[in-house]
Structure 1
Amino acid sequence: MSERIQRMLRDPRILIGALLTLAVVLLALFGPWIAPYGEQQIVGRPFTHDGAFLGTDYLGQDVWSRVLYGGRSVLLISLVATLLGVVVGTLAGVIAAYAGGWLDEVVMRAGDVLLAFPQILLALVVLSAVEQPTWWMIALLVALAHIPRVARVARGVALTYVSRDFVAAAEAMGESRLRIAVTELGPNLVVPLLAEAGLRLTYSIGMVAGIGFLGFATDPGAADWGQMTNENRLALLVQPWGVLAPVILIAVFTIGTNLIADGLGDHAAKGTSS
């Protein structure tokens, strides 16, 4: 296992992806401490080059400072949604693959029902029904979009292991089905599901930013990368940095996580074939 991890770390895609992802995460975490101005501080006229080097936004707030403040909420919600979706989806997929029969059918058909709904539309319908969306509400809605997709991947991978000798040995020792699914099948899914988690995190970032762009941010006055693109889009030709700066950071993060996911996916495929 350690040799396999070392090979993955030597993969240039995984290394470059990790560096890009880490750079954006560090900027989002420590950005408020290095921001030249406050999150809502007016520093000049709207859509001008006043303030720091990226100019001002639609209210005259410093764009660079808003960017540094705006990453935490997007990344936090995306990370929570991804973790929740991957954990629940993995459990559902592994249990369905191992149990088989009617339970497998119920889990997969329930996933089909969720996949039938456009997830962003479902999220907007729910969020428009509440007075003020909360971060955990957005995280749950995004996680709900991940669960059936992750469950299908986990089920497909787990089906290759349910008939192996180590599963039969665990059954002969009298271990419960749930324990076998978690402790015997679970570790064999780590690398494939890490690749899937990278893709799910990319999807989470896009969906959370999209929800903010459409006006459903948790705090209308706070800095938010998705919300910033909506607030400043009308002056894109005059002062583009209010839109471009958050979009570039989201793109860099997306590229980084996709590179990691692609590298892990290739290593998972090689491990399966060998």
Structure 2
Amino acid sequence: MSRVLGWVLLGVPLLAALAGPLLTGPVHAASVPLLPPGGAHPLGTDVLGRDVLALALHGGGSVLALAGGALALSYLAGVPLALAAVGQPYRWLDRWLTRGLDLVLALPGLLVLMVLAATGTRTAGALVVAVALLQLPAVVRIVRGAALDAGRRGAVEAMALQGESWWRIHFDYIGRGVLAPVAVDAGGRLSLVLYLVASANFLGLGLDPATADWAVLVERNQEALFLQPCAVLVPAGLLVALCTGINLTVDHHLVTGRGPS
């Protein structure tokens, strides 16, 4: 049951984000603001007079792009960094790297985003880099732990005795050994990254306030919650469904030890 529910909750917002823009035309203010649901506008209009249904179908792409970019950047930086730290001969470098990243790990993510917003740095690129840096310490820790376990295998010693290069041992053999833990971690971490990206958009960080983005729509229409609930509840519900669906699907994968069938 949880498997089916997870895929339904995950599939609906993904389908809306990927196929939605193909089903509707450009989103623009074409009606009276905060109209209730009716014939011309099945879900009503928002504070700018835009159709809520069209906004919901257009607003997922930016969320997925920002979250996916931040997640990919954290692994592109974290995996090689962890493998290099484990493979180098100086233990003190590994120790100091871990302690330095622990300082970043201790920083509350929302506090960092609030400080970034207060400095006036509100671009989407800055948001992606900030979220990726917040995830970097945890990624390095997970990859480092998996690499230390893979590095104790007899095959590593055998490859070293055969004269294999340091790069081949640590970035090829051990690197392939950490792929499974990284894949499992990425599934669960995506929901955390989505939460941070959505929270940043609530703060006005990353995207223009007029953007058709689910998180921006919630922030922009929150004061009209009781006048036109659909303008807030529909994009908020899609965000909640996406995060919940990811968590249920990953949990099922971890419990059963196999991919969904």
Normalized against structure 2, the TM-score is what? 0.87
In the alignment, does 2:97 pair up with 1:107? Answer: yes
3-state DSSP class of the match of 1:43? coil
Contact 2:18 2:61 (C-alpha < 8 Å) held by counterparts:
yes
Closer/same/farther in 2, CA of residues 263 and 181 from structure 1, 3 Å limit: farther
In the alignment, does 2:188 pair up with 1:173? Answer: no
Q: Tell me the residue number matched to 2:18.
A: 29
Question: Aligned runs of 1:184-203 on 2, under 5 Å?
Answer: 184-203=173-192
In the alignment, does 2:137 pair up with 1:152? Answer: no
In the alignment, does 2:107 pair up with 1:117? Answer: yes
* Pairwise CA distance, 1:147: 0.7
In the alignment, the residues of structure 1 paired with residue 200 and residue 170 of structure 2 have an alpha-carbon distance, to the nearest angstrom, of: 35
Contact 2:67 2:128 (C-alpha < 8 Å) held by counterparts:
yes
In the alignment, the residues of structure 2 paired with residue 45 and residue 110 of structure 1 have an alpha-carbon distance, to the nearest angstrom, of: 50
| AA of the residue aligned to 1:112 | D
| AA of the residue aligned to 1:222 | T
Q: Tell me the residue number matched to 1:49.
A: 37
In the alignment, the residues of structure 2 paired with residue 194 and residue 267 of structure 1 have an alpha-carbon distance, to the nearest angstrom, of: 15
| Residues 201-247 of structure 1 deviation map (CA, whole Å, 9 limit, x = unaligned) | 11111111111111224222111111111111112223211111111
Q: Tell me the residue number matched to 1:257.
A: 246
Task: Could you tell me which runs of 5 or more consecutive residues in structure 2 were left unpaired when the two chains were aligned.
Answer: none
* Pairwise CA distance, 1:44: 2.9
Q: In the alignment, which of 200, 217, 228 is matched to residue 211 of structure 1?
A: 200
In the alignment, does 2:73 pair up with 1:91? Answer: no
* Pairwise CA distance, 1:14: 6.3
In the alignment, the residues of structure 1 paired with residue 128 and residue 7 of structure 2 have an alpha-carbon distance, to the nearest angstrom, of: 24
* Pairwise CA distance, 1:48: 2.4
Q: Tell me the residue number matched to 2:26.
A: 38
Q: Tell me the residue number matched to 2:59.
A: 70
Closer/same/farther in 2, CA of residues 97 and 24 from structure 1, 3 Å limit: same
3-state DSSP class of the match of 1:232? helix
* Pairwise CA distance, 1:82: 0.5
* Pairwise CA distance, 1:267: 6.0
* Pairwise CA distance, 1:17: 4.1
In the alignment, the residues of structure 1 paired with residue 113 and residue 21 of structure 2 have an alpha-carbon distance, to the nearest angstrom, of: 29
In the alignment, the residues of structure 1 paired with residue 160 and residue 7 of structure 2 have an alpha-carbon distance, to the nearest angstrom, of: 39
In the alignment, the residues of structure 1 paired with residue 192 and residue 74 of structure 2 have an alpha-carbon distance, to the nearest angstrom, of: 11
Aligned sequence identity (%):
32
Moved more, 209-218 or 174-183: 174-183
In the alignment, the residues of structure 1 paired with residue 192 and residue 53 of structure 2 have an alpha-carbon distance, to the nearest angstrom, of: 25
Closer/same/farther in 2, CA of residues 266 and 152 from structure 1, 3 Å limit: farther
3-state DSSP class of the match of 1:57? coil
Closer/same/farther in 2, CA of residues 23 and 130 from structure 1, 3 Å limit: same
Closer/same/farther in 2, CA of residues 33 and 75 from structure 1, 3 Å limit: same
Normalized against structure 1, the TM-score is what? 0.84
Contact 1:71 1:224 (C-alpha < 8 Å) held by counterparts:
yes
Closer/same/farther in 2, CA of residues 267 and 48 from structure 1, 3 Å limit: closer
